[in-house]
Amino acid sequence: MSKTSDLAARHAAAVTKGVGTKGIYAERAENSELWDVDGRRFIDFAAGIAVNNTGHRHPAVMRAVADQAKKFTHTCFHVAPYEAYIRLAERLNAIAPVAGPAKTMLVTTGAEAVENAIKVARVATGRTGVIAFSGAFHGRTMLGMALTGKVVPYKKGFGPFPADIYHGIFPNEYLGITVEEALASIEALFASDVDPSRVAAFIVEPLQGEGGFVPAPIPFLQGLRALADKHGIVLIADEVQTGMARTGKMFGIEHAGIKADLITMAKGLAGGFPLSAVVGRADLMDAAQPGGLGGTYAGNPLAVAAANAVLDVIEEESLCERATAIGEKVLARLHAIARRQGMEVIGDIRGRGAMIAFELVSDRVSKAPDAQLASRFVAEAEKRGLISLVCGTRFNVIRLLPALTIPDAILAEGLDILEAALEVAVR
């Protein structure tokens, strides 16, 4: 029996099946490569779902964590605060695209950041309503699920969910949902479901993750900013997956040339260590009473050390520019594949920076989703040594998230595997 088979049997016996996984049991990883317990090598086009933007075990990150571990691993910031947390907050305040002076709080997960952003918006405005969007993903907590606009697998069977949450339509050029229709859906909510004077916040992903890597059109984000200003609504940019240089800018909302009131971030923030943050306008962030925000593990010293190192690496290695260059290479290769005879199953190719996806369909005219083809592709790619992920409300989108530190040769090798795997999957 292989080590993988043994672990799979132990896994099935010990771990709830509600925690979905792949069948790759990791032994070690380095930059953009991962080896499993049986010694098989994989090129990682998932990066821990956009967590390892700086690659697995970046030397600068590992040094920072090791140095911090020699000092202390936990005090609880509420009990004995530490300089590194304050320094990270100062740095995030300086780079976050929010209007005016900013302040920061650190927590642990993306869902926790989202929940705290909603808390801040509600206490600062005295309002309770929140508008999210179809296809959105904001976490697996009860409030996160309420905000999420995708039922299976995240919401099915888990309700009822917290009240006063509404969903507008998210624009999708490929499926013919226009910016005008999306903005009109918000006005329809104001007319039929919730008075705008009761709405505390809009929460939006600048590029939807689980929803299918659908970029929010720039006019939509600008229109959302205008509606927020008109009605005194807080605009929350959920940058958990789009942040930390992934889209070619430090934050995805910067592509629209607007500023958010609050920004949530996690994933790539600490290079593989659990850390998240809410950064926002100081007047909003200071609205909560002392003790109303935080948590026992919030701003863990090891994760904070990692995050400070990640910010250094992004600047020193020009990872925003690198993300753009990676994206250009991936897009060029995908478009070349899509032009080939027999590859009409690629219905759409989209993304920003190194956050790229392609949508698999039965044919380009009907645009009917082919979720089975997507599953076959992922399985075949794994057989050949490439890790990729499915997303989308129709389960037919392949998302590609290579580390921003991936060498060109390994990126090209991964794209070769992708093409070969797709050829087999479509037969």
C-alpha span between 104 and 100 (Å, rounded):
13
Give yes or no for a contact between 279 and 93, defined as CB atoms under 8 angstroms apart.
yes
Q: How much of the chain, in percent, has pLDDT values that exceed 90?
A: 100
CATH number, position 51:
3.90.1150.10
User: Among residues 316, 344, 368, which one ends one of the domains?
Assistant: 316
- Judgement on whether residues 197 and 345 belong to the same structural domain of the protein: no
203-219: average pLDDT = 98
pLDDT score of 236? 98
Q: Give the neighbor-by-neighbor strand order of the sheet with 199-204.
A: 102-107, 276-281, 262-265, 234-238, 199-204, 129-133, 165-168
User: Among residues 316, 331, 360, which one ends one of the domains?
Assistant: 316
151-156: average pLDDT = 93
User: Among residues 301, 316, 331, which one ends one of the domains?
Assistant: 316
- Judgement on whether residues 52 and 67 belong to the same structural domain of the protein: no
pLDDT above 90 for 251: yes
- Judgement on whether residues 112 and 18 belong to the same structural domain of the protein: no
Mean pLDDT of the residues in the chain: 97
- Judgement on whether residues 31 and 69 belong to the same structural domain of the protein: no
Q: 51-86 b/e with 16+ CB inside 10 Å = b?
A: bbbbbbebebbeebbeebeeeeeeeebeeeebebbe
pLDDT score of 303? 98
Confidence of residue 319 (pLDDT cuts 50, 70, 90): very high
pLDDT score of 356? 98
Confidence of residue 1 (pLDDT cuts 50, 70, 90): confident
- Judgement on whether residues 408 and 308 belong to the same structural domain of the protein: no
Q: Are strands 41-44 and 129-133 parallel, antiparallel or unpaired?
A: unpaired
Q: Which positions ≥6 away from 121 have C-beta within 8 Å?
A: 127, 130, 200, 201, 234, 236, 261, 262, 284
- Give the range of the structural domain holding residue 410, as residue numbers without chain letter: 3-58+318-425
- Judgement on whether residues 331 and 308 belong to the same structural domain of the protein: no
Over residues 96-122, the pLDDT tens digits come to: 999 999 999 999 999 999 999 999 999
- Judgement on whether residues 78 and 196 belong to the same structural domain of the protein: yes
pLDDT above 90 for 234: yes
CATH number, position 144:
3.40.640.10
Q: Which positions ≥6 away from 207 have C-beta within 8 Å?
A: 213, 214, 215, 216, 241, 242, 247, 252, 351, 352, 355
Measured in whole angstroms, how far is the alpha carbon of residue 259 from the centre of its chain? 19
Q: How much of the chain, in percent, has pLDDT values that exceed 70?
A: 100
Measured in whole angstroms, how far is the alpha carbon of residue 41 from the centre of its chain? 25
- Judgement on whether residues 330 and 247 belong to the same structural domain of the protein: no
300-328: average pLDDT = 98
Number of domains forming the structure of the chain: 2
- Phi (first) and psi of residue 397, to 5 degrees: -110, 130
- Judgement on whether residues 302 and 354 belong to the same structural domain of the protein: no
- Judgement on whether residues 8 and 97 belong to the same structural domain of the protein: no
**Residue 417 in tokens:** 């595997």
Measured in whole angstroms, how far is the alpha carbon of residue 198 from the centre of its chain? 28
Confidence of residue 9 (pLDDT cuts 50, 70, 90): very high
pLDDT above 90 for 50: yes
- Judgement on whether residues 115 and 9 belong to the same structural domain of the protein: no
Over residues 76-85, the pLDDT tens digits come to: 999 999 999 9
- Judgement on whether residues 41 and 175 belong to the same structural domain of the protein: no
Confidence of residue 273 (pLDDT cuts 50, 70, 90): very high
Instruction: Outline where 339-407 has alpha helix (H).
Output: 371-383
